[in-house]
Amino acid sequence: MSGRRIFALARRVIRQISRDRRTIFLLMVVPMFVLAIGAILLRAEPAPIP
């Protein structure tokens, strides 16, 4: 494939992704949510074993 075709394809894919709100939400919000949950779990104190 020529560079021009690859650039046109990449531009089209980026345009399609930027118009889809659900994809933008998944790319931006979900990773922050997962990191926050992981931080909460790692910071929690372990329960004492009786």
Quote the pTM value: 0.53
Q: What residues have CB less than 8 Å from 18, skipping those under 6 apart? A: 24
Q: Are 23 and 17 in contact (CB under 8 A)?
A: yes
pLDDT tens-digit readout, 1-50: 788 999 999 999 999 988 988 888 888 899 999 999 998 888 877 777 87
CA atoms of 6 and 8, how far apart (whole Å): 5
Please tell me the predicted confidence (pLDDT) of residue 36.
92
Q: How many CB atoms lie within 10 A of CB 1?
A: 6
